Amino acid sequence: MSRAAFRERLRQRELLVGTFIKTPGPHTTEIVAGAGFDFAIIDQEHGPFDRTATDLALLAARAGSLPALVRVPSSAHDAILAALDDGATGVLVPHVSCGETARSVAASTRYRGGRRGFSNTVRAGGYGAADIWPHVDASDAAVVALAAVETPDAIERVDAIAATEGLDGLFIGRGDLTVALGAASPDAPAVRAAAERIASAARANGKAVCAHVGGMNADEFCWLRSIGVSVFVLSSDQGLLRQAALRALEAFRAGAAR
């Protein structure tokens, strides 16, 4: 799938499922691509990714025709630029808590009307194969910008965040919200209310709604779909490995006990 096609599917609210990549190196990204996921998110915020490891994961994604975003560690312009130059389909920016930060994020992802530093000699520009203005136009049309809303102060300003031109969607940060609100779990009423507030603001501004899920829970899925979530991040490479390992071990022990 081309980067532009992925952004269009996201903007059209197609049901998309991806996973976080938290293990440096190309192999898990290759596996996720081969399994048929719609996208992956390379996790620099909570995974041990430096730029070299991120570059390899993005190369594996490109080899497998897998759209790959990068969850950058912050909204810093240089972090966003590095991910996009290395060929990321887009970025997921954590802890976007106000309209000003949201506008900065959007500007960092765009050439025209923004402040993305230009280079067409990187992977994103085909190492010089793309001419200047075709590269500018193709990149601006294809790059996805997602903002994570995951703190109480961000909830208070979510309308300004959602209204930001250039943002394609809002990610509901239920884990951080659970901790920040002192809730018992992501299913607690306070967290659900916050998630619904984020989703409502996103829908009102024509933005996609994204959320992380640990596994396939039918009730959780139906609720998230009912509030407008169309982009699901299913667990992570490490989470899926752990789940598969536990199932395999349980099956082996059950068989050995017969």
Q: How far apart are CA 147 and CA 150, in angstroms?
A: 10
pLDDT in tens, 184-241: 999 999 999 999 999 999 999 999 999 999 988 999 999 999 999 999 999 999 999 9
Rounded to two decimals, the pTM is: 0.96
- Confidence category of residue 181, pLDDT binned at 50, 70, 90: very high
Three-state secondary structure call for residue 178: helix
pLDDT in tens, 210-219: 999 998 899 9
Strands 39-43 and 169-172, bridge-based pairing: unpaired
In this prediction, residue 49 carries a pLDDT of: 97
- Confidence category of residue 3, pLDDT binned at 50, 70, 90: confident
pLDDT in tens, 67-106: 999 999 999 999 999 999 999 999 999 999 999 999 999 9
Selection from 142, 137, 204, 138 nearest residue 170 by Cα = 204
Q: Is 46 a catalytic residue?
A: yes
Q: How far apart are CA 228 and CA 175, in angstroms?
A: 19
Three-state secondary structure call for residue 102: helix
Q: How far apart are CA 85 and CA 90, in angstroms?
A: 10
In this prediction, residue 35 carries a pLDDT of: 97
pLDDT in tens, 16-57: 999 999 999 999 999 999 999 999 999 999 999 999 999 999
Q: How far apart are CA 131 and CA 57, in angstroms?
A: 26
Q: How far apart are CA 85 and CA 219, in angstroms?
A: 40
Q: How far apart are CA 35 and CA 212, in angstroms?
A: 19
Q: Which of 46, 77, 95, 212 is catalytic?
A: 46
Sketch out the chain's domains with CATH numbers.
Answer: 3-256 (3.20.20.60)
Three-state secondary structure call for residue 111: coil
Selection from 223, 116, 211 nearest residue 169 by Cα = 211
Sequence-ordered list of residues with C-beta below 8 angstroms from that of 130, at least 6 positions apart, any chain: 120, 138
- Confidence category of residue 66, pLDDT binned at 50, 70, 90: very high
Percent above pLDDT 90 for the chain: 97
For residue 4, pLDDT beyond 90: no
Three-state secondary structure call for residue 211: strand
